Amino acid sequence: MERCTARVRILGGILLLLLASGLLAQDKIVQVTAGALNVRTGPSTGYAKLGLVYSGQRYVSVQRSGSWHKIWFNRGTGWVHGGYVSEVSGSAKKVTASLLNVRRGPSTGYSVAGQAANNSRWVEVGASGSWRKIYYGGATRWMHGSYLANAGGSTAPPSSPPTTGGLPTSSAGFVQLPASGQGFYAYSSSSRHWGTPAMVYGMMNAASAWKSQNPSYPRISIGDISKTNGGYFPPHVSHRYGKDVDYRPVSKSSYEGPLTIWQSNYSSYRNRRWITEYAKKYLNIKVIGFQDSAIYNSLWYVQNWSGHHNHHHLRIH
């Protein structure tokens, strides 16, 4: 009897240690695979919607209920369907402050977008000095690293590892898109092909999947992204932060040159497929400017921007 009591005490102590460290077995890092996924107040579609999370975003799942995952979302938790997320590897952080401000950028000069509760867990997806980039409430946000501690994470490898690393890197942390690769080629000067890793590798991975699954389709023709370290980039108003990219519309043949939405060789079907099945899967899209009405009238994140009849303008978060 004494031995059993001792074992119970030992097991209880181990459980408390796991709780304190945030390393409970059910904790997993999950990545959203749907273009946009509802977050609900409970584990079924009968519960109210709290908001949306988007393709490529990563969250910590702290509980399972059937096919549903409970994730940290805003100041609290919400539920997402497991059919639209996959377990991936990554670094999870837990909040050590009683309540931590979540900001729109990596300094106290940025406005507060929300707050994170004590012991809530978040996936670190980037860093800038002492600040840590996370996904919070469906958007890219920042927390100060002084109020975060390691909380472990999933060790399951992604089902199809993305292309990362190996490209030239600037002092601003931008990487340079190669002149060509699987499924794409660049048609503007190499000095205009610098962007954040999420942008450049996202485009490369999307183009690679596009071509491997549609070998008869043309490659994606990529134009301006940003300068080596960002900044003013005439004649563009944007393209300053490595998060904007221009690329040509997709033709209905194997043609890869300049094209407008009014030419007979333009394919609305292929352009929509590229956006919904490839770009949205590999890039955390904020907006796309493009003047095909069949596309911007049916996809909320595509807008009718004047002058964008001969190229897409894609911006990520």
**Domain count within the chain:** 2
Between CA 113 and CA 123 the distance in angstroms is 17
Asked if residue 4 has pLDDT above 60, the reply is no
- Segment 15-71, tens digit of pLDDT: 444 444 344 445 789 988 888 899 999 999 989 999 999 988 999 999 988 889 999
Q: Does a structural domain hold residue 264?
A: yes
Per-range mean pLDDT, top range of 77-86, 139-148, 249-258: 249-258
Q: What is the pLDDT of residue 130?
A: 86
Q: Indicate if 81 and 179 belong to the same structural domain.
A: no
Asked if residue 120 has pLDDT above 70, the reply is yes
Report CA torsion sign: 265, 266, 269, 275. Answer: positive
Q: Look at residues 164, 161, 204 and name the one whose alpha carbon lies nearest to residue 181.
A: 204
Q: What is the pLDDT of residue 34?
A: 81
Q: Indicate if 288 and 231 belong to the same structural domain.
A: yes
Q: Does a structural domain hold residue 5?
A: no
Q: What is the pLDDT of residue 231?
A: 93
Ramachandran bin of 242, using left for φ above 0, alpha for ψ from -120 to 50, beta for the remaining angles = left
Give me the phi and psi of 207, to 5 degrees please.
-65, -40
Nearest 10 degrees: Cα torsion 138, 236, 110, 165: 60
Q: Does a structural domain hold residue 83?
A: yes
Q: Indicate if 119 and 232 belong to the same structural domain.
A: no
Q: Indicate if 183 and 306 belong to the same structural domain.
A: yes
Domain that holds residue 267: 175-316
Asked if residue 6 has pLDDT above 70, the reply is no
Q: Indicate if 206 and 308 belong to the same structural domain.
A: yes
Give me the phi and psi of 120, to 5 degrees please.
-70, 150
CATH number of the domain encompassing residue 69: 2.30.30.40
Q: Does a structural domain hold residue 6?
A: no
Q: Indicate if 191 and 302 belong to the same structural domain.
A: yes
Q: Does a structural domain hold residue 124?
A: yes
Q: Does a structural domain hold residue 4?
A: no
Q: Indicate if 30 and 137 belong to the same structural domain.
A: yes
Q: Does a structural domain hold residue 252?
A: yes
Q: What is the pLDDT of residue 164?
A: 52
- Segment 208-261, tens digit of pLDDT: 989 988 999 999 999 999 999 999 998 888 999 999 999 999 999 999 999 999
Strand partners of residue 133: 126, 142
Q: Indicate if 221 and 111 belong to the same structural domain.
A: no
Q: Does a structural domain hold residue 121?
A: yes
Q: Indicate if 312 and 181 belong to the same structural domain.
A: yes
Task: Examine the fold and report which residue of 150, 166, 183 is the final residue of a domain before the chain moves on.
Answer: 150
Q: Indicate if 261 and 217 belong to the same structural domain.
A: yes
Q: What is the pLDDT of residue 27?
A: 77
Q: Indicate if 211 and 285 belong to the same structural domain.
A: yes
Q: Look at residues 216, 236, 212 and name the one whose alpha carbon lies nearest to residue 224.
A: 236
Q: Indicate if 145 and 187 belong to the same structural domain.
A: no
Between CA 276 and CA 168 the distance in angstroms is 29
